[in-house]
Amino acid sequence: MSVSINDNPQSTNGHTADASHSLANSYPSNSIDWLTRLMGFNTVSRYSNLALIEDVQAYCQALGLQPTLTHNIEHTKANLFVTVPAGAAQEIVSGGVVLSGHTDVVPVDGQDWDSDPFAATIRGDKLYGRGACDMKGFIACALSIVPEAVRLSNAGKLKRPLHLALSFDEEVGCLGAPLILADLAERGITPDYCIVGEPTSMSMVVAHKGISVYRCRVHGKSAHSSLTAQGVNAISYASQLVGYVDSLAERISRRDDVDALFDVPYSTLSVGTIKGGTATNIVPNLCEFTFDYRNLPHMTQDDILVPIEEKIAELRATMQARAPETDIELLQEESVPAMTDADSAALQTLVAGLIDDDARHKVGYATEGGQFTNAGIPTIICGPGSIEQAHKANEFVPLDDMTRCDAFLARLLTHCQADA
């Protein structure tokens, strides 16, 4: 038996900053209802997330908080950052813990869903819908504890501030979080820690690989295939470069500085797409291919860029000796930094006690966590649901994981009441 639960949250947008506490009472009071509300917003990355952000903004304002929005250039999307201040005078806004989550979700196009992907549906012990685990489930849990955090703040019992960071466009390159971090730096807000609530089945992930995506364009010179000496074959030169990338990937896999906590304990380099040519009887003048590099936290882009650029220079010289107008371009299309565990020992110890599990994991996928660690904020990843369910049809989050996340954040709130 399935139960569809959708309370049409989009009808609640447009509240003003002077919204009363009664407005806050009209919002969900628990994480499941919050998740239901959030999933009703279609925030696939190609669409705006403003309706969801403005709904959360009104909720925070009704609780007496002052959220800050940072927008993309087109002002079609926004991040939200809000602080529940600490101290008897409610003046402490630095330090404390950031609860971070992205509001965008991946598309459902071409997927065979058993229920409306944008309406939360409970079947058995799972809640189904796009974003259930990736990662509106964590956001829902975070939003549900804000009223209690505000109550403690108003009573002067909160010793460390609690921050909430909601971003846009994580799924298409982690584009939103850098704007949040730049705004915090400008305002002098320096959180102690960050917890990114990506789906980990409520286990602790302490590091992840970085991702860099490159597009290589080889510009040759066309000629009739019976006169190959008059042309420069772009596909042939591209294939030499593809072969070099593959050989470099093999060398990287044999390095001694591996990390056994990762499923794939070494950095990887992989060609993903290739296209070129017009017809069999034409020497092709263009071929392009893409590849991605997933690096261990201690490795950098230079570990592959330097040798690849040297190979490109070698091939370019050979091509241009035959036709000066030929060239090879290397363009970076995406770059998400690795998340290191180098400075998060204290945070790991704290989280291990809050989830009653001291296991440390490292993963190959990337998150906004690397951007937080690059900004000097020790970060771990811990959230409800499994990454195995993310991006798939019938995405779900176990209800038990939501309960466990609620308990985890409640314990974190208790920690924020303790003397520093």
Q: Which residues are catalytic?
A: 104, 170
Strand partners, 99: 164, 195
Give the Cα separation of 420 and 78 in Å (integer).
Answer: 33
Contact 319, 311 (CB under 8 A): no
Quick one: 420 exposed, middle or buried, by C-beta within 10 A (0-12, 13-18, 19+)? exposed
Give the Cα separation of 397 and 316 in Å (integer).
Answer: 51
Nearest to 325 by CA among 215, 220, 218: 220
The distance between the two most distant Cα atoms of the chain, rounded to a whole number of Å, is 85
The reply to whether omega before 204 is within 30° of 0 (cis) is no
Give the Cα separation of 184 and 190 in Å (integer).
Answer: 7
Lookup: tokens for 58: 């009104």
Give the Cα separation of 156 and 44 in Å (integer).
Answer: 40
Give the Cα separation of 39 and 129 in Å (integer).
Answer: 7
Q: Hunting for tokens 């971003």 — which residue is that? A: 167
Give the Cα separation of 258 and 252 in Å (integer).
Answer: 10
Contact 328, 319 (CB under 8 A): yes
Give the Cα separation of 273 and 290 in Å (integer).
Answer: 5
Strand partners, 380: 195
Q: Give helix then strand counts, H and E, for the chain.
A: 10, 18
DSSP letters spanning 86-131: BTTTT-B-SSSEEEEEE--B---TT---SS-TTSEEEETTEEESTT
Phi, psi at residue 361, to the nearest 5°? -125, 155
